[in-house]
A and B are shown apart, each in its own frame.
Chain A
Amino acid sequence: MTIFDPMLPRIARTRRRRRDGPAVWTLDIEMAEGGPPAFAPGQFNMLTAFGVGEVPISVSGDPADPSRLVHTIRAVGPASTALARLGPGEVLGLRGPFGVGWPMEQAVGRDVVVIAGGLGLAPLRPALYRLLAERERYGSIVLLYGTRSPEEILFRRELESWRRRLDIDIEVTVDHAVGDWRGHVGVVTTLIPRSAFEPSSTVALVCGPEIMMRFAIASLQDAGVADDAIYLSMERNMKCAVGLCGHCQMGPVLVCRDGPVFRYDRIRSILGAREI
């Protein structure tokens, strides 16, 4: 009997590669054999650069079109750098998708506030595609996005085209304005009090650096959003992505198995502890 081996990658191939900011590249990939794995917004894959290593990367593409598997990668370590360099036709390994994604069903009928910091927009983009594709099922939709500088804004053309729609509010802010930037300046949390959503019927989806998420939670609480309506995508070291290697422990949870998306009230007690 052959036992399914969750550590065995499938072969995939890069179809298209484009730059999405300093050291940030977005790869469209396709499976070399078999169908593309369906994924839920917020899930991630383990991508292998052969001979270099494997890293967890969130899917950043449209869940309605899984044949175009899109991942946005910041080149920071050996594996992510090797992956970000893969040109069209080059081979990589893929395991996944893994994890629990954004609460798209729980958000139906409610206002949705999406708060992203830096590369945190990448795992949120599939949720935005879904929200816009099924626009009539949701209340107000607000996207608040902060980056360090204007050149680090991800998916800029797409954001600009979405911004022309009348059924979504998009605000972008940068920490440091340079050149011809005429938009908001300041951290993303400053946008929360001025946004139009009904706190008592809002679901908030938050992804970004942990410190940014802490401040976003505080601002959402100040605005009257309940703890059980706030969802965060957490990042931890991962080696297996299937709950077997122990690396992604965050107190009582395994981020790969129980997350990466968590309802805030369920991890509130451990998020308060340092170095957990």
Chain B
Amino acid sequence: MANSEPVVLDVDGLSALFEALKRRGYRVVGPTVRDKAIVYDDLDSPADLPEGWTDEQDGGHYRLLRRDDRALFGYVVGPQSWRQFLHAPRVELWHGTKSGDGVRIEADPMPSEPLAFVGVRACELQAIAVQDRVLMGGAYVDPHYRARREGAFLVAVNCGRAGGTCFCVSMETGPKATAGFDLSLTELLDGDGHRFLVETGTDTGQAVLAELPHRPAAAAEIAAAAAVVERAAASMGREMRSDDVRDLLMRNLEHRRWDDVADRCLSCGNCTMVCPTCFCTTVEETSGLTGAESARSRRWDSCFTMDFSYIHGGSVRSSTRSRYRQWMTHKLATWHDQFDMSGCVGCGRCITWCPVGIDITEEVRAIRGDGPN
């Protein structure tokens, strides 16, 4: 289905892409600068993109910095991920009304506006694939996720640099987008101008591309785009040996490193809020004062709360040690058992946004016995 030959789109062509998507009824969402961070929000045109910005990331550290060029995608991932649109933080499930001696239940409406994401990184495409498996791949499908996910148009962007906490190469999820996109862009910014090498992933992508002014890519441009991705691959801020990590962690459920990390972990749940694959939710029941009306909603939940594992008599995981272990072993080990894939895509958000800079790659190394480096 993928286009055989890559093409080139200039900056005006990118504007045309936004227009084409809006013409087709998509709500266009992508990266923009707000609150000194790159966030994902509604975009009107490429002018809303974080032009000339980059980011500096490390354990518990995130800063936006100016670049010396006008790159539109010269940063990596911020605190948010696409899951806030596909697996919304809060969903109204149904409301019930007492009528006579019964109750009438009505499902709350599903969203119908199709989404177009511009600037999806390779690790994020994998994160979407992970949530697809979790929320649509089992015996029961989450209809709220499916309503948002099906019909979403994904424009991937290949990373030209890695962030300080990135380790997609270790998790084999990037930096090049290889599947799961409608169109993918590689930003080229050199003596020959500012333009994008475009690859096509689907027929819909092909149809949209046909509406945009483009030209065939020169061999030098294809090589330049490959060099962009190689540069990112060579500059990973973190690495983690992942081939043995599943067995390693399950063999070491009582390792003393869990006590060590528990001394640092605040059990704040930030890692679960920024993780693009975390899918856990809880439900909330509300009712009017008279009790005639009630409603149930669903919101993101975190395995770092005490409530999360509460059953009559107490929480199954009452210690921080057990809750950090649950989160990390779930991502790297038991996700394989539950969903036949890893729950970690190597995006590094949990490292950057941990207020005390706990580094999942360092914890794995410590348990393996390599020691921190």
Tell whether A273 is near chain B: CB-to-CB under 8 Å.
Answer: yes
Give A5 to B105 CA distance when docked, in angstroms. Answer: 12
Give the residues in chain A near B143, CB-CB below 8 Å.
Answer: 3-5
- CB pair B287–A244 under 8 Å, yes or no, is no
- CB pair A237–B103 under 8 Å, yes or no, is no
Give A76 to B311 CA distance when docked, in angstroms. Answer: 10
Give the residues in chain A near B105, CB-CB below 8 Å.
Answer: 8-9, 11, 93
Interface-central residue, A5, A6, A236, A246, by most chain B CB under 10 Å: A246
Chain A: which residue is nearest B286 at the CB level? A51
Give the residues in chain B near A253, CB-CB below 8 Å.
Answer: 337-338
Tell whether B298 is near chain A: CB-to-CB under 8 Å.
Answer: yes
Chain A: which residue is nearest B307 at the CB level? A237
With contact pairs A52-B285, A237-B308 given, residues A242 and B102 touching in the complex (Cβ less than 8 Å)? no
Contact digits for A216-255, partner B, Cβ 8 Å, 1 yes 0 no: 0000000000000000000111011011111101011110
With contact pairs A8-B94, A91-B102, A254-B338 given, residues A245 and B281 touching in the complex (Cβ less than 8 Å)? yes
Tell whether B231 is near chain A: CB-to-CB under 8 Å.
Answer: no
Contact digits for B88-105, partner A, Cβ 8 Å, 1 yes 0 no: 000001101010011101
Contact digits for B139-153, partner A, Cβ 8 Å, 1 yes 0 no: 111110011000000
Tell whether B3 is near chain A: CB-to-CB under 8 Å.
Answer: no
Give the residues in chain A near B286, CB-CB below 8 Å.
Answer: 51
- CB pair A244–B281 under 8 Å, yes or no, is yes
Q: Which of B102, B285, B301, B322 contacts A54 (CB 8 A)?
A: B285
- CB pair B280–A247 under 8 Å, yes or no, is yes
Tell whether B254 is near chain A: CB-to-CB under 8 Å.
Answer: yes
Contact digits for B104-141, partner A, Cβ 8 Å, 1 yes 0 no: 01010010000000000000000000000011001111
With contact pairs A3-B146, A89-B101, A257-B139 given, residues A8 and B107 touching in the complex (Cβ less than 8 Å)? yes
- CB pair A244–B309 under 8 Å, yes or no, is no
Report whether over half of chain B's contact residues are helix, strand or loop; otherwise say mixed. Answer: mixed
- CB pair A243–B139 under 8 Å, yes or no, is yes
In the assembled complex, the CB of B7 is this many whole angstroms from the nearest CB of chain A, namely 35
- CB pair A53–B285 under 8 Å, yes or no, is yes
- CB pair A239–B338 under 8 Å, yes or no, is no
Give A237 to B308 CA distance when docked, in angstroms. Answer: 7
With contact pairs A8-B93, A237-B309, A275-B318 given, residues A32 and B142 touching in the complex (Cβ less than 8 Å)? no
Tell whether B65 is near chain A: CB-to-CB under 8 Å.
Answer: no
With contact pairs A51-B294, A252-B338 given, residues A247 and B282 touching in the complex (Cβ less than 8 Å)? yes
Contact digits for A55-99, partner B, Cβ 8 Å, 1 yes 0 no: 000000000000000000010110000000000010101000000
In the assembled complex, the CB of A150 is this many whole angstroms from the nearest CB of chain B, namely 22
Chain A: which residue is nearest B287 at the CB level? A51
Give A93 to B282 CA distance when docked, in angstroms. Answer: 18
- CB pair A50–B103 under 8 Å, yes or no, is yes
- CB pair A249–B330 under 8 Å, yes or no, is yes
Chain B: which residue is nearest A209 at the CB level? B313
Known contacts A9-B105, A244-B138, A254-B338; 18 additional CB pairs below 8 A are: A3-B110, A4-B143, A5-B93, A5-B107, A8-B93, A50-B287, A53-B285, A74-B312, A76-B312, A91-B101, A91-B103, A236-B309, A237-B311, A243-B138, A245-B283, A249-B334, A252-B334, A253-B337
Query: Top 6 A-B pairs ranked by shortest CB distance?
Result: A51-B287, A252-B337, A246-B280, A275-B322, A242-B140, A51-B294
Q: List, sorted by A's number, 19 A–B pairs whose CB atoms are closer than 8 Å.
A: A4-B141, A4-B143, A7-B94, A51-B287, A52-B287, A76-B312, A89-B101, A93-B105, A236-B311, A244-B134, A245-B280, A246-B303, A247-B301, A247-B309, A249-B303, A251-B250, A273-B254, A275-B317, A276-B326
